[in-house]
Amino acid sequence: MKEAAVVIIGAGAAGLMCAAQVAAAGREVLVLDHANKPGKKILMSGGGRCNFTNYYVEPNRYLSHNPHFCKSALSQYTQWDFIALVDKHAIPYHEKKDGQLFCDNKASDILNMLLAECETSGARIQLSTAVDGIESLPAGGFLIQTSKAGQEGADAVAIKAQQLVIATGGPSIPTLGATGFGYKVARQFGLDVYEPVAALVPFTLTSELKTLSSALSGNACQVSVSCNGQSFMDDMLFTHRGLSGPTMLQISSYWQPGDALSIDLLPGLDAAEQLRADQHQNPKQQLKTWLGHLLSQKISEQWLPFMGFQPEASLASLNGKQMDAIAMALHQWQVKPAGTEGYRTAEVALGGVNTDELSSKTMQCKRVAGLYFIGEVMDVTGHLGGFNFQWAWSSAWAAAQHLAQQG
């Protein structure tokens, strides 16, 4: 039997961050992961450039059944702390927009930084290792049954740990090694888990809406989208299967099956007023040309007939009622998605381990001493924009401070 003071399951964003911090405090740390490489989601993130944090991290950028839970960890280890770490490793980065920080080069800069921190502090990482079972020991601590990943039972080794950290993330993108393992462990120990739901995910459409989005596939425009009391303004992208782009990913976290999205295709403009003004200025202009200047010609030509408007109608031919109807349709386009793309493409999962089960200061289970959950596995989900990684860093750091004192 092997022994390690602290075992962390999951060599992703939160697991690596936690491992480096705990080992730096002098404790023996072993990180286990079933994947053959660490931090696969980090490498894929931010289009390969990792949006590693955001200048404007606030608790209101997170969804959770307990919106207060994230406050303590986010204030213990802030975006400025992580930026200082990035600066220490001389990683070049830039703000893309709205405070979103991306690597200038590659996402591997962030992964290599975490691996370097683990190496310097002496944290060990053991890959290609399946965790076949976990039990708590009567005298305290945990026994973790492991074997070679992909060949469960082969080369079986039991590892004894004083404390156990679950950092196995959420189930989105299974091809990257994502699993619902953390939820299984939580349930095994009698903890409550909110059923996970794919979030930050594109929408799928059916029937005529799908035909429209498919015809416009690859076209994007800036919109404001609202659903269930939340609104986001950013780009929307038409795809062969439905609607994507940052606005759609953001609102997907608030959408429930059956809900309609209200899309404002001309945010910040009073379309009715503009139509009336342009009718005087340019009465011969066709409706499709008018809208083409405001959106794009392609979108205008497809969208107007789809909505039942005459693209070739001159502005002069429109009466007040028709102009109001066009303006209303542009500002409040009601779209009912058929569903989402699901875990295949979702960036995160809503739900997870009920935060009522955990200490918001240390991430330790209230009911199971020595068991910690960090990162995406718990019911804290950030908006798009670097907030999910910041949660991984902050929750990992908070747990590490407590683990450092348990030796």
Ligand X SMILES: Cc1cc2nc3c(=O)[nH]c(=O)nc-3n(C[C@H](O)[C@H](O)[C@H](O)COP(=O)(O)OP(=O)(O)OC[C@H]3O[C@@H](n4cnc5c(N)ncnc54)[C@H](O)[C@@H]3O)c2cc1C
Query: Nearer to ligand X by C-beta: 10 or 242?
Result: 10
Give 32 or 212: the residue with its C-beta nearer to ligand X: 32
Q: Residue 137: what are its φ and ψ, rounded to 5°?
A: -90, 145
Shorter beta-carbon distance to ligand X: residue 131 or 216: 131
CB 88 to ligand X: min, Å: 20
Q: Which residue is nearest to ligand X (CB)?
A: 12
Give the shortest CB-265-to-ligand X separation in angstroms.
27
**Euclidean distance between the first and final Cα of the chain, in Å?**
20
Q: Shortest distance, CB of residue 296 to ligand X, whole angstroms?
A: 27
Spell 319-337 as b/e; 16+ CB within 10 A means b: eeeebebbbebbbebebeb
Residue 33 pairs in a beta bridge with: none
* Matching residue, tokens 């020991």: 137
Side-chain-side CA neighbours of residue 284 (13 Å): 0
Q: Which two tokens stand for residue 52?
A: 């590693």
- DSSP state letters, 149-201: TTSTTTT-EEEEEEEEEE----SS-GGGT--SHHHHHHHHTT--EEEEEEES-
Q: How far is the CB of 328 from ligand X (least distance, A)?
A: 36
Min CB(166)–ligand X separation in Å: 9
Nearer to ligand X, 43 or 338 (CB): 43
**CA-CA distance, 251 to 383, in Å (whole number)?**
9
Q: How far apart are CA 246 and CA 25, in angstroms?
A: 39
219 phi and psi angles, rounded to 5 deg: -90, 140
> Cα separation of 358 and 268, whole Å?
43
**Is the Cβ of residue 133 or residue 257 nearer to ligand X in the bound state?**
133
Residues lying near ligand X in the complex (CB under 6 A) are found at 9-15, 32-35, 40-41, 44-46, 50-51, 131, 167-169, 172-173, 177-179, 181, 347-348, 375-377, 386-389, 392
Closest approach of Cβ 380 to ligand X, in Å?
10
Report the candidate in 137, 126, 130 with the shortest Cα–Cα distance to residue 156. Answer: 130
CA distances from 402 to 12, 164, 185 (A): 20, 12, 21
Query: Would you say 46 or 196 has its CB closer to ligand X?
Result: 46
Name the residue nearer to ligand X (CB basis): 50 or 261: 50
Whether 286 contacts 312, CB under 8 Å: yes
Residue closer to ligand X (CB basis): 188 or 297: 188
Shortest Å distance, C-beta 197 to ligand X: 15
* Least spacing, CB of residue 350 vs ligand X, in Å: 12
